[in-house]
Amino acid sequence: MKVDLATGVLTALAPAHPDVHWSYPAVSPAGRWIAASRWTPGAFLDVVVLDGAGQIAVRVTEDRALDLAPTWAPDGRTLLWGSDRTEVPNIVAAEVDPAAGTVGPVRMATNLVTGAAYPSVDPASAWVYFSGYHADGWEVERAPFTPSAWPIAPSCRRRS
């Protein structure tokens, strides 16, 4: 839903559909784009970017991985999210240009054998904070925010 701050009127961004579910919306730093996780029939959970009118500007992922909880880096170009593309949930990232409809290579921001999810980049773009899972439960952890140093993520099985 979009809220008109002057009037309080609510407007749906995307039409309701019983087989499509939206979660984890994240507004870009400039306020122009909304990244979100979208569940569709066939058990597909992908990251998409919507424009202000609720139209899909770019499909960031379109594969068999469970991709959730996207967040924008302060630069407004880098999008991070949790993904199980390696069969263990970890934080991945890509440069995204919704205006051009382009997505750069997906990179591995973390590679924990026990799992990581729910990223957030600090305002200075020095650290990625995330929830790391271990034998004794979840912990808040951090890793340097260095996208150019992160390795390219393994490809994920495309939809059939």
Q: pLDDT per position in the chain (160 positions), as tens?
A: 778 889 999 888 777 888 999 999 999 999 999 999 999 998 899 999 999 888 999 999 999 999 999 999 999 999 999 999 999 999 999 999 999 999 999 999 999 999 999 999 999 999 999 999 999 999 999 999 999 999 999 988 665 5
Residue 69, domain CATH: 2.120.10.30
Its domain, for residue 108, covers: 15-149
Can you give the pTM of this predicted structure? 0.91
Is residue 5 included in any domain, yes or no? Answer: no
Is residue 138 included in any domain, yes or no? Answer: yes
- Contact status, residue 36 vs residue 23, Cβ threshold 8 Å: yes
Is residue 61 included in any domain, yes or no? Answer: yes
Quote the number of domains for the chain: 1
Is residue 8 included in any domain, yes or no? Answer: no
